[in-house]
Structure 1
Amino acid sequence: MIETQTLPTEPGCYLFFDSTGTIIYVGKAKNLRRRVSSYFSRNDLDPKTKRLVAAIAGIDFIVTDTEVEAFILENTLIKKHQPKYNIDLKDSKSYAYIHVTDEPYPRVHVARGTDGNGRYYGPFVSARERDDLLRLLKSLFGLRSCRRLPRRPCLRAHIGSCSAPCTGRISEEDYRERVRRAEAVLKGDITGLIRTLREEMAAHAERQEYERAMELRDQIAALESLRERQHVDRQKTYNEDIVNYIVSEGTVYLMLFNVDRGTLSGKREYTFDETEGFLEEFLARYYADHEPPEEVILPVPVDDAVASYLSHLRGGKVRVIVPQRGEKKNLLDLVRKNVEIAFFGDRIKLDELKRRLHLPELPVAIECFDISHLSGTAMVGSMVRFLWGKPDKKNYRRFRIRTIEGIDDFAAIAEVVRRRYTRLRKEGGELPDLILIDGGKGQLAAATAVLKDLGIKVPIAAIAKREEEIFVPGFSHPLPLERHERASLFLQEIRDEAHRFAITYHRNLRKKTIAP
């Protein structure tokens, strides 16, 4: 039994050791004796803490004058010893950057890391926004996208979307000025760049250089449009971080939004085991490596020492707020909604599909079949597999129809279904939880007959293209699903992927057929 009565009642840090003398946990406390004793006197500990307590063979402690000092010391000790049972703050996602290379004619492109030469901007949370911005910058300022300067101008040069340094059409100095302007956009100084461009446009117009003035006018219009899209609420004069989370089955799913003077500038996602006081530990660990903003918005109250600790790190006052209504509460709800989508979106789709199709089990694995042909020639089949709501591309399969002549989609579906599950059984593979057929009642009947013949009992459904109707065996009418329901949209997503895969295979076969 671990002795705790001799521990002091002052604030400080405690260290738990295992039987080998390795530090397995570092914690902070307002009252060391009370906090450490709670590990051994309570019966409602979470599973991870129970494993921790079972592994404790020794205790050490360090007394501090204040709770703020305990926060600081805790972070120092955690970074030094990397204890097994402390939160591992690895971001759940790695986001891409826009990289401006260090070359005579710099290239602007997407990069996953920041370990090369040149300058990096980001990270970008949204891939679509990043790609849209990159595309705009290349087109707007005529920046090259080629890895190496070619010997002859490419298509972008011919259509005027690249300044074509490969041809000597632009000097290195003029090209670098274009890059500097693109970087001004990446730094967020769109307003200052627009002001400069307006002055240049007026000067060119005064010298009757109307073609260049019109080019600058178009750049200004594009930048103003970009500024409007990025504008949220720039009247705030301070920065905020908004933190929210969901705890599910012993795991914390947490998201943090960075708001820079009213504009969302980034987000971070984390998952870690649930432990008592995990939110305070997260805040202490996170802000040890990131400067705290003026305001931190949380869903639940934390100890007053947290605000003091963050203020100490910042060197100025930090407000920790738990809003109950209004704009800040709406922001908290928005972050929670993002947590639900990011971490539970696929599970929600599967739960909804199980409910609406009355499936006996959650459809974790779904396989969908489609047929593609051109007037009965080069008929092919495809099968795509979705696992936990996401494409499982390594298990996609394609089929060249062997036994059918002419147009017979029903027979073609029957052939690929038979071939798929005959082979799967032979190889001892796991059957899916749901089979989906691209087609109507005829295709469904053909596939169902094959499954019955093979003695396979797996739920099956079909989705017809025109009205997105869902059919299941035993019912002459489609299920009462609206095409915009979550379950129907998920089935459409799977069907569309199967169709894309089939079309790609069909085109490849046709190219081989007509090749000289």
Structure 2
Amino acid sequence: MIDRARIPEDPGCYLFSDSEGAVIYVGKAKNLKKRVSSYFQKRDLDAKTRRMVETAVSVDFIVTDTEVEALLLENTLIKKHRPKFNIDLKDSKGYAYIRVTDEPFPRIHISRTMTGTGSFYGPFVSARERDEVLRLLKTTFRLRSCRQLPKRACLRSHIGSCSAPCIGKITEEEYGERVRRAEAVLKGDIVGLIQHLRVEMAERAAGDEFEKALELRDQIAALERLTERQNVQRQKTYDEDVINYIVSEGTVYLMLFNVHTGMLAEKHEFVFEYAEGFLEEFLARYYAEREPPKELILPEPVDESIAGYLTHLRGNRVRTTVPQRGEKKKLLDLVRKNIEIGFFGDRIKLEALRELLNLSKIPTVIECFDISHLAGTAMVGSMVQFRDGRPDKRNYRRFRIRSVKGIDDFAAMAEVVRRRYARQKDEGRELPDLIVIDGGKGQLSAATAELGNLGLVIPIIGIAKREEEIYVPGESDPLPLNRREKASLFIQEIRDEAHRFALAYHKTLRKKAMVS
């Protein structure tokens, strides 16, 4: 059973594995949680994806800082694992070139072969990266892509993505300069081109050519986005291992990234009891069974004897680095971020919630209620329970509303809260640390009143759907909280699960009613 609750909402890559531990699919996402969850929520999956979901028994993930980084990492992981459900790029389609033609107004396009005149750049192993580079060059420098110059301006000209040499809106000399800039990018001289454009932009602005200066500014911005490269794909000719850790309550949570010739190849996780000098002991034991890399990036210095020992194992010098800034520090921070999310994601959410609501303790058990109906018919209630930050489906409950006629969400909410906690109280069962009500002040007031009638004092909040505002009893205004903060996102996650569960029960009752 794949545990989706632990998956973060960060960008990154996800890896589905089968029962034997083999990676069967690698994907990237701007929001890992939403993307992975979508596989299990959609009913109209194509046959291949459906087989992949049925085969997958576990999912792993690697968090990145940006979606671009995730895309680059995805290519690396696919090359490493060769998952059977990813697209096979063995055919020539995956290895096309970008061609700049030899014409008075050259065009830029994809070429499968190096035939014909002009310049060819590539080949590009990743079709996605190739297409993104081509798109950026065409729109940034407004180059034509049409096979023949038309007699009148095309749609690309009207939307401003082509300089329209077909109707004489640009001279051959000006167009040629744009082509030379595009070729500089394809040759890899992006930094030099940006410096040149900055100088020209300043000169244009000084000469009151503000329109030209603005165009150059946009080109610079686009090129800077293109130069955004993942921390794990760097121009290195040697291997590195990046190690970071967090110590919590006497336990060490350590993660190691293998970076081979500048590209992240694998991550490893370790959990063990804390002891003084644990990092040096770990290095000695870990590399006793495998060849050390040329460089180790660490969060703290280690004894020189460790570097000497690793050098002996490798047969040539092993360098240990403790970076304070730059790319290596970003890599170190990225490993720590993965530790925090992988091992402490749930605890961080709970701690943020405790702090937001000023609770006396971390809300280990949270129960959330929702009401679902269609114009007052088939009215049902749901209760979901989160334990230690994750759904505990064994303790989900659903209710058919008995005492309410017509549309009265407040009375329906009061009924399910009363039924749930009257029974828990009478039978001496566990009570939650926090109650979440799906609704605004009205639903919250109804639920709070029922708790009072039962003589129970339990922290309770309400979340209004429209603006994701969070209310507490006795306050007319919502809490001053950004809806993208950790605590707010966690409450939304709990509410969404309660809503899903209620809606599923409501649909079941409607189907039964239709059949009968």
Q: When the two structures are superposed, what TM-score results if normalisation uses the length of structure 1?
A: 0.60
Deviation at 1:368, TM superposition (A): 0.5
Contact 2:95 2:127 in 1 (8 A): no
Aligned partners of 2:17 and 2:23 also within 8 Å: no
C-alpha distance 318-369 of structure 1, shift in aligned 2 (>3 A): same
Provide, for residues 451-499 of structure 1, a one-character-per-residue CA deviation record: whole Å limited to 9, x for no partner. Answer: 1111111011111111111111111222222222222222111111111
- Whether the 8 Å CA contact 2:96–2:127 is kept in 1: the answer is no
Is residue 251–residue 273 contact of structure 1 (8 Å, CA) maintained in 2? yes
Instruction: Quote the offset at 1:192 in angstroms.
Output: 8.0
Contact 1:125 1:267 in 2 (8 A): no
SS in 2 for 1:495: helix
Q: CA deviation at 1:349?
A: 1.9
Instruction: Tell me, yes or no, if the aligned pair for 2:80 and 2:265 is still in contact at 8 Å.
Output: no
Aligned to 2:163: none
Answer whether contact 1:436 1:462 (CA < 8 A) is retained.
Answer: yes
In 2, Cα distance between equivalents of 1:289 and 1:322: 24
Instruction: Give the alignment of 1:165-176 within 5 angstroms.
Output: none
Give 2:304's aligned residue. 304
**Aligned partners of 1:347, 1:220: CA distance in 2, in Å?**
38
Deviation at 1:338, TM superposition (A): 2.4
Aligned to 1:264: 264
Residue 365 (structure 1) aligns with:
365
- Residues 185 and 193 of structure 1 are in contact (CA less than 8 Å); yes or no, is this contact kept in structure 2? no
Once residues 484 and 121 of structure 1 are traced to their aligned partners in structure 2, the CA distance between those partners, rounded to angstroms, is 32
Match of residue 509 from structure 1: 509
Aligned residues: 356
Quote how far apart the aligned CAs of 1:266 are. 2.3
Cα offset, 1:222, TM superposition: 4.2
> For residues 483 and 340 of structure 2, what CA distance do their matches in structure 1 show?
23
| Distance in structure 2 (CA, Å) of the matches to 1:326 and 1:262 | 15
SS in 1 for 2:503: helix
1:408 positional shift: 0.9
Deviation readout 1:88-122 (Å, 9 max, x if unpaired): xxxx99xx998xxxxxxxxxx841425xxxxx558
For 1:111, give the aligned amino acid. Answer: D
Task: Name the counterpart of 1:348.
Answer: 348
1:412 match: 412
SS in 1 for 2:480: coil
Aligned 8 A contact 2:96 2:124 in 1? no
Instruction: Tell me what 2:433 maps to.
Output: 433
Q: After the TM superposition, which residues 141-220 of structure 1 pair with which residues of structure 2 at under 5 Å, given as runs?
A: 186-187=81-82, 198=96
Inter-CA distance 183–257: structure 2 relative to 1 (3 Å threshold): closer
- How far 1:421 sits from its partner (Å)? 0.9
Quick check: 1:111 aligned with 2:18?
yes
How far the C-alpha of 1:341 sits from its partner, in A, is 2.4
**What is the deviation of 1:346?**
2.1
Cα deviations across residues 201-221 of structure 1 (Å, max 9, x unaligned)? 858x99xxxxxxxxxx99974
How far apart are 1:434 and its partner, in Å?
0.7
Which residue identity is paired with 1:470?
I
- 1:244 is aligned to 244
Cα displacement string for residues 404-454 of structure 1 (whole angstroms, at most 9, x for unaligned residues): 111111111111111111222233221111111001111111111111111
- Using a 3 Å threshold, how does the CA distance of structure 1 residues 193 and 324 change in structure 2: closer, same or farther? farther
Pair 1:476-2:383 in alignment: no
1:219-298 to 2 correspondence within 5 Å? 221-222=127-128, 224=130, 233-298=233-298
| Distance in 1 (alpha carbons) for counterparts of 2:82 and 2:379 | 53
SS of 1:289 mapped into structure 2: coil
From the superposition, tell whether residues 234 and 422 of structure 1 become closer, same or farther in structure 2 (CA, over 3 Å): same
Question: Quick one: distance in 2 between partners of 1:247 and 1:343?
Answer: 11
Q: Is the 8 A contact 1:367 1:434 kept in 2?
A: yes
Q: Which amino acid aligns with 1:287?
A: Y
Retained in 1: the 8 A contact 2:253–2:343? yes
> Which letter does structure 1 place at the counterpart of 2:360?
P
Residue 370 to residue 195, structure 1, CA distance change in 2 (3 Å): closer
**1:416 & 1:329 partners in 2: Cα distance?**
52
Distance 1:382 1:327 in 2: 48
Shift of 1:348: 2.2
Contact between 2:410 and 2:443, CA under 8 Å: does it hold in 1? yes
Aligned counterparts of 1:407 and 1:348: Cα–Cα separation in 2: 39
2: CA distance between counterparts of 1:509 and 1:202?
Answer: 57
Q: Partner letter of residue 277 of structure 1?
A: G
- The equivalent residue for 2:319 is 319
- State the Cα distance separating 1:291 from its structure 2 match: 3.1
- Residue 396 of structure 1 is matched in structure 2 by 396
Using the aligned pairs only, state the percent identity. Answer: 58
Tell whether the 8 Å contact from 1:125 to 1:266 is kept in structure 2 after alignment. no
* Aligned-residue offset at 1:312: 3.2
* Residue 296 of structure 1, CA deviation: 1.0
Contact conserved, 1:97 with 1:110, CA < 8 A, in 2? no
**Cα distance in 1, alignment partners of residues 401 and 425 from structure 2:** 20
CA 1:374–1:230: 2 relative to 1, 3 Å: farther
CA 144–421 in structure 1, closer or farther in 2 if over 3 Å, else same: closer
Secondary structure of the 1:403 match is: coil
Matched, 1:460 2:454: no
Unpaired segments of 5 or more residues in structure 1?
A: 1-91, 99-108, 115-119, 136-141, 149-181, 207-216
* Structure 2 residue runs without a partner (length 5+): 1-5, 8-12, 40-45, 53-76, 98-110, 117-122, 134-225
Structure 1 residue matching 2:288: 3-state secondary structure: helix
Structure 1 SS opposite 2:451: helix
Q: Secondary structure at the match of 2:324?
A: coil
Q: Residues 435 and 196 from structure 1, CA distance in 2 versus in 1: closer, same or farther, beyond 3 angstroms?
A: closer
Shift in alpha-carbon separation, 1:291–1:505, aligned structure 2, 3 A = farther
Aligned AA for 2:284? A
Quote how far apart the aligned CAs of 1:339 are: 2.0
Asked if 2 retains the 8 angstrom alpha-carbon contact of 1:124 and 1:266, the reply is no
1:188-240 deviation line (CA, Å, top 9, x unaligned): 999986587549x858x99xxxxxxxxxx999744746999996634211111
For 1:388 and 1:225, the matched residues in 2 are separated by: 44
The amino acid that maps onto 1:500 is: R
1:335/1:366 Cα in 2 relative to 1: closer, same or farther (>3 Å)? same
1:320 positional shift:
1.7
Q: Contact between 1:295 and 1:321, CA under 8 Å: does it hold in 2?
A: yes
> Is 2:93–2:127's contact at 8 Å kept on the other side of the alignment?
no
Paired residue secondary structure (2:293): coil
1:43 alignment counterpart: none
Distance 1:384 1:256, change over 3 A: same
Matching residue's letter, 1:509: L
Structure 2 CA distance for partners of 1:346 and 1:198, relative to 1, 3 Å: closer
